[in-house]
Amino acid sequence: MDKKLCIDLQKVPNHVAIIMDGNGRWAKSKGMNRIFGHKNALTAVRESIEAAAQIGVKAITLYAFSTENWKRPKTEINALMSLLINSLKKELADFMKNGVKVNSIGHKESLPKNAQKALNEVIFETINNKKIILTLALSYGSKEELVTAIKNISKKVVNKEIDLEKIDENTIDNHLYTFNLPHVDLLIRTSGEQRISNFLLWQMAYAELYFTGILWPDFRQEHFYDAIIEYQNRERRFGKTSEQLTE
């Protein structure tokens, strides 16, 4: 049975975020190195984007490279950057065909110049696409994002551009990297790990968390739809009681 048929298209999450975990373990299980796992994860990326777009998800954010990932071996980092560049170039035609608008969050300036160039080119080419926003979190850390937001707000207070007494949640939202995105409704993390790893801490305040033991290179459309079905079976209360939701 097509799992997509089990999904209520009126209750699809607006924003799905994914921590793509398990590439290294997948590769190790096959007697290969971690880079082999990263290279074989592209199908999972492609299928997740397609699955999201097909059911009307408006935004999907992928945790592609964290600020902590810079601590990894240089050979792995170089391989990941090369993979990023090649993938962006290879997928551009499909992004255009499928209406995917590419966005990025994080300290993009930390990326190699050729990676920045490839990313900026794809962002420019897809800027008018409207079906789904694909955000790549690159050199991203949520704590760093919040610190940057606080610094920028503080500067505006000093310059009298913002009234200190009028700072509220919307002020914070508007100074985050994700200012143009809705808050996350659903977080998916693969590989069985159950933590959020410094990812979108503010934006996931009311997100539903879905953890699966599937390793990321094995993740396919049906697994994405499993997460959506589970999401739709949950009761999102936002601090209210069940009784209040039915009133």
Return the active site residues: 21, 69
Query: What is the spatial distance between Cα 60 and Cα 72, in angstroms, rounded to a whole number?
Result: 26
Q: In the β-sheet with 132-140, what is the strand arrangement from edge to edge?
A: 100-105, 132-140, 59-66, 15-19, 186-189, 208-211
Q: Which residues contact 97 (CB under 8 A, 6 or more apart)?
A: none
Identity at 106, one-letter amino acid code:
G
CA geometry: angle 69, 72, 74, nearest 5 deg: 120
Enclosing H/E stretch for 19: strand 15-19
- Contact yes or no for 223/214 (Cβ under 8 A): yes
